[in-house]
Amino acid sequence: MPSRATLPEWAALRKHRDTIASTNLRAQFAADPSRGTRMAASGAGLFLDYSKHRINNDTLALLRALADACGLRSRIEAMFRGDHINLTEDRAVLHTALRAKRGATVSDKGVNVVGEVHGVLDRMAVCADAIRSGAWRGHTGSRIRAVVNVGIGGSDLGPVMAYEALRHFSDRSIAFRFVSNVDSTDFAEATRDLDPAETLFIISSKTFTTLETMTNAHTARAWLLKAFGGDEQAVAKHFVAVSTNAKQVAAFGIDTANMFGFWDWVGGRYSMDSAIGLSTMLAIGPDNFRAMLDGMHEMDEHFRTAPWETNLPVIMGLLAVWYADFFGAQTVAVLPYDQYLKRFPAYLQQLTMESNGKRIALDGSVVDYDTGAVYWGEPGTNGQHSFYQLIHQGTRLIPCDFIGFHEGLNPIGAHHDILMANVFAQAEALAFGKTPEQVKAEGTPDWLVPHRVFDGNRPSSVILAQRLDPATLGRLVALYEMSVFTQGTIWNINSFDQWGVELGKQLAQRIIPELTSHTPLAHDSSTNNLIAIYREKRG
Ligand code: F6P
């Protein structure tokens, strides 16, 4: 398969880049008063203003032509149809089936998976209702007042992000904690004030073999059993599992009646809407969880059916490619102006970087263009008083996604208006900056003028929605999932495997026993030395 960079559409974009580089947003807005309303699109309850990007109509047409040349439409259909587009693992990619409507048909290997999906959702709802109502009692008859999700990567980041994002809708009589790190501090701090008699652990692991999760799960089991004098009977009332691996779940000692399954066609970073979302459902209740799934489904349908011109994930994905491959941008900042979305950038880091951090194309060749950018961010307005300086006046081009809501969930005085004014002001400042003439006109002494100039011409999107409710969170998550898919399709990579995490895991397994033994070391001289020092000084 020839490199994407050899496509005429790619070459056309490379040439076109010079035209765009020679103009700026100030001039483009001055020349076209309708730009701000024209370069905007709505879909599935979200509004996207992409007018403050370094593009013109030709850029968009060329990017859409690239999407066509890369077969985006047929790739979308292949994913939704259940083709095994995850080639290296020979798996379908069907997270869209997790939010398909009851009664729909989506098949993998001849089996309609939607029935199974709703079967698990129904069982999750029974469990959630029992815990939320107090019908589920612990080993000593107490109600459950604390839920601890033990998982890592996709089995943690989605659940913790969704819990934080939807905390406003959560049952405040239950404490929710998330343990992911193999650093025992994580477990110790999460459980130090909890009563074992009132605590339920959800062991969330697709494989049920992940070192960190299994280590924490065994620690949780020991913590619980210590409180109950070693009575193994307690496990049944205080442990449930979410996994695709029933055998390992049973081997751990969790009754598979308390196991909620999912399937190999759900990638870890695409699993927050599967049973991995059990903690989310316990927090917000089954109806709100279903509303979140409906929001995702709405965005899926938008992505599947909307023309490229108004297709939000496609526009965002193509813009990401534009900056990564034609402007050399290394990163994208995601800046949610909502405190509840404080973990959203961390969640997106796995979604985007584990998906598109690849240098091998689908045919096994090495790509000769840049792929996935580094995603990062913090909620506004905090970031403004920290790293925005670099975005405004640094030497790097950092496209930004601002996310804001028309309504705040905790209205107090003028807070929300102040918050949203900052969204609009930051996007405006980045795009238009402040010229030397403007700075001088303020009476700034000549020597200080360059320091106070803002070049502008710095790109951003503004994503707006009415309020951060479960459906909106679902739409936002699916928006980014499908933008990631669009980027991966253009780059001709597999966005659904993650071989890059394997080597470190294997090497750690080899080193673990070496730390507590005196066996001769056969690593490189640096690793040998580090292990030797640790052996000598370990506490
Ligand atoms: O970090 C690699 C990874 O496989 C992720 O893709 C996954 O989300 C995470 O580990 C956790 O895996 P599991 O759910 O199997 O414990």
At 86-113, the pLDDT tens digits run: 999 999 999 999 999 999 999 999 999 9
> In 306-387, which residue ranges form alpha helices assigned H by DSSP?
312-326, 344-349, 355-356
Peptide bond into 489 cis (omega under 30): no
Residue 505 a catalytic site member: yes
Residue among 32, 60, 28 at smallest CA distance from 322: 60
498 close to ligand 1 (CB < 6 Angstrom): yes
CB-hemisphere CA count at 13 Å for 206?
17
Low-confidence ranges of the chain (pLDDT < 50): none
Separation of alpha carbons 339 and 335, rounded Å: 11
* pLDDT confidence of residue 518: 94
What are the contacts of 346-349 at 24+ separation with CB within 8 A? 346/157, 346/161, 347/157, 347/158, 347/160, 347/161, 347/272, 347/477, 348/375, 348/377, 348/480, 349/157, 349/375, 349/376
501 close to ligand 1 (CB < 6 Angstrom): yes
Distance between Cα 217 and ligand 1 center (Å): 15
Structure tokens at 132: 């939320």
The model's pTM is 0.98
Distance between Cα 210 and ligand 1 center (Å): 7
Given a contact cutoff of 8 angstroms between Cβ atoms, the answer to whether 176 and 294 are in contact is no
Structure tokens at 71: 């077969």
Structure tokens at 314: 């496609």
Q: Which atom of ligand 1 is nearest to the CA of 498?
A: 6
Distance between Cα 493 and ligand 1 center (Å): 20
Residue among 205, 216, 212, 218 at smallest CA distance from 508: 212
Distance between Cα 103 and ligand 1 center (Å): 30
Count, residues in the chain: 539
Most informative mutation of 86, 95, 150, 152 for ligand 1 (most atoms within 8 A of CB): 152
Beta bridge partners of 155: none
Most informative mutation of 501, 502, 506 for ligand 1 (most atoms within 8 A of CB): 501
Query: What are the helix and strand counts (H, E) for the chain?
Result: 23, 13
Give the sign of the dihedral formed by CA 449, CA 450, CA 451, CA 456. Answer: positive
Q: How far is CA 162 from CA 96, 461, 477, in A?
A: 18, 23, 10
Most informative mutation of 157, 205, 206, 348 for ligand 1 (most atoms within 8 A of CB): 206
Cα angle value 493/16/303 (rounded, 5°): 45
Separation of alpha carbons 325 and 508, rounded Å: 35
158 close to ligand 1 (CB < 6 Angstrom): no
Given a contact cutoff of 8 angstroms between Cβ atoms, the answer to whether 46 and 476 are in contact is yes
